Amino acid sequence: MLRRGRRLALTTALIALAATASAQEPPPAAPTPSAPLQETLPPVVVTAPPPIASSSEQLIPDKDFELRPQGRPADVLRLVPGLIINQHQGGGKAEQYLIRGFDADHGTDLAIFVDGLPVNLRSHAHGQGYADLHFLLPETVKLVDVLKGPYFPEYGDFATAAVVQFVTRDVVEENTLSIAGGSFNTERYLALLSPTRDVVKTLVAVEVYRSDGPFDHPNGYLRLNAFAKATASLDADSTLSVWASHYRAEWHGSGQLPERAVRLGLVDRFGAIDPNEGGVTQRTNLNLDYRWKVAAGHTLTAHAYGSYYALSLFNDFTFFLNDPAHGDMINQRDRRFVAGADTQYELKSTPLGADLTSTAGLQYRIDTPHVVLASATQRHQTGRSQDVSLVEQSWSPFVKFDLAPADKIRLVAGARGDIFTYDGSQHVNTTGANLDGHVARARPNVKANLVLGPWAATELFGNFGTGFHSNDARAVLANPKLEALPTATGYEAGFRSRVLPRTEIFATYWFLDLASELVFAGDAGTTQARGPSHREGLEAGVKVRPLDWLTFTGDFTYTTHAELTQTHQAVPLAPVWTARWDLTARLPWGLSTSLEMRYLGDRPADPDRTQTARGYTLFGWTGRYRYRNLEAFLSVENVTNVDWREAQFFFTSRLPGEPAGGIADIHYTPGTPRSFLGGLALRF
């Protein structure tokens, strides 16, 4: 600890010294009178946000999240109305996502992309659609595009509740070296560099992060990220962009505590029943984008990507329920390659004087997961219950038409088809089902979006679409009669308005029906079918700039129904009420500050609504001050130091001395108490 403190102080002093030296450099000599000055003005680029097709769409620019606590992509996602992010294992595991009446687990009904590269992993060892975003550095993101509902032809698998598309920068305006430290032995070191910014634009980013968290058994969470991107204009009509990234992390986790264990004093709220939980993971990505303006009104885009991914995850949910002697720890391992390509051709025309943009595209993806489910004791494997090699492929053609048949009327409609093939080869399988074989499935989807206006600076929106999330290949191979690609049918209507000065408001009412709540339980290697479900609710938000330097943003969501259609039981953990607001000031003399509130209401923890997952209200504050090329920053989370629960689940577990059948109880991961993170950044 002492050596780490000295290293932090030394690095801080070096940054301050560099800033002082830079500030004291003599000004450049003025040109001699005999040399005429020739000034070339830089090009002026005027941009405007693209037209949106739904009232719930959110375009989040980097300016909206540049003040937030550094280093966590989850902090950016929290700006999405109604999206709740929970971390429940030491920082290294993918977050749990709650949105639009879904406990979307780790990504089953939330599709996430980075420059078109899919983050969600199919047939994952821990959960379908597992989306670990920790390889993404928030400082490399320039825009986040959020699309709610299954209304958009470009998106297929997992795009039921929402799609989140991160768009990375080509360059940073200023090179940055940053060092940060704070509560729970947290440290972060970051370098952002753009060696070239002209014909070839480049960006290099490197991050080292570690934190012990507030737990009695330190997380020891250590993360390494590296990112490099190059963008070049090959000629006046074509552009090529290539980036690569590498991520590795390791950690320990305290897991979810039974409520009774804390209540009886067996452990405190930051303790652990089994302190050996945790894991190690890595992901290496390569992403290529090519854009060619073939002719006036004709554009061809091509995209290709590849990833290598590995995870070894240790969890102990039920403690001594299944194995009273050695405990119930499981080890889930996943190793795979993911690759894909998609291309689309866009044509702009004016049939009968109406503006029409027609797009045709084809998407292909292959996943080759090797997944293992094993029993373990203190992270040592004691047996395997499932060891399977899979090959999952999909082909997805789509068409999209964006038509403006008359003034103030716009129609965006399209269709897509998705063809999936599943091939399995089991090495070990004690679950009883045969996972060897081949299965093919296909489905069509249709989309339609109507935009009317603006009238009085107000636009009206109506949306309809069908979509799906794929089910785990093991579930499909085990029982080919089960629905592999269950239909999600969505509707919504709403408006967006700027009728009030310096104010933008939106409101949306939405419906979403899912044909099958088939869930593959990776922790047990089996399938749980819960039948069809229905969800609906309201979203509303506002953004106000009362002064040039002051911005208020707020939103709330209310899910009126989230239930299984046949039994009218609740969808466990589905959020009911959520709210968020922030007040941000950017003063002209270098100080920027933001105060934020996040609220999640109580919600059912079990289908019968007899158990409650407790809600919370949290406040966070962040401030930054810049003087010349040196910037200091400080953030405070959970300002009021409330006792809150981050992730919560209701299931049966057994502690030593309890009945053999165990006890059904709320299990939770405690939320972080008041904590601080501060540091310095040198910009040059």
User: For the segment 417-447, what is each residue's pLDDT rounded down to a tens digit?
Assistant: 999 999 999 999 998 889 999 999 999 999 9
The strand pair at 221-235 and 200-211 is best described as antiparallel
Average pLDDT over residues 335-363: 97
Average pLDDT over residues 645-673: 94
Between CA 332 and CA 334, with CA 333 as vertex, the angle to 5 degrees is: 125
The pLDDT value given to residue 513: 97
Cα–Cα distances in Å, from 135 out to 20, 114, 285, 309?
A: 34, 10, 9, 11
CA proximity to 162, closest of 508, 467, 383? 467
Question: Does residue 519 contact residue 526 with C-beta atoms inside 8 Å?
Answer: no
Least confident among 105-109, 129-133, 659-663? 105-109
* Confidence band of 487 (pLDDT split at 50, 70, 90): very high
Task: Give the residue ranges of DSSP H helices in 226-374.
Answer: 259-263
- E strands in 326-436: 330-349, 355-367, 370-377, 380-406, 409-429
- E strands in 115-175: 117-118, 141-148, 162-168
**Residue 458 to residue 455: CA distance in whole angstroms:** 5
Average pLDDT over residues 79-83: 95
| Exposure b/e, 526-544, CB count within 10 A at least 16 = b | bbeebeebbbbbebbbbbb
Question: Does residue 559 contact residue 536 with C-beta atoms inside 8 Å?
Answer: yes
**Residue 523 to residue 322: CA distance in whole angstroms:** 13
Let me know if 265 is exposed, middle or buried by CB neighbors in 10 A (0-12, 13-18, 19+).
exposed
The pLDDT value given to residue 17: 34
Answer whether residue 45 shows pLDDT above 60: no
Let me know if 31 is exposed, middle or buried by CB neighbors in 10 A (0-12, 13-18, 19+).
exposed
- State the CATH architecture for 58-683: Beta Barrel (2.40)
The strand pair at 110-114 and 162-168 is best described as parallel
For the record, the structure tokens of 63 come out as 């300016």
Mean pLDDT of all residues belonging to the chain? 91
Question: Does residue 107 contact residue 97 with C-beta atoms inside 8 Å?
Answer: yes
Residues 6+ apart with CB under 8 A from 201: 170, 171, 194, 230, 231, 232
Question: Does residue 619 contact residue 638 with C-beta atoms inside 8 Å?
Answer: yes
Between the two ends of the chain, the Cα-to-Cα distance in Å is 31
**Residue 213 to residue 216: CA distance in whole angstroms:** 9
pTM, whole model, 2 decimals? 0.92
Average pLDDT over residues 24-37: 43
CA proximity to 308, closest of 226, 247, 363? 247
The domains of the chain are located at 58-683
3-state DSSP call for residue 353? helix
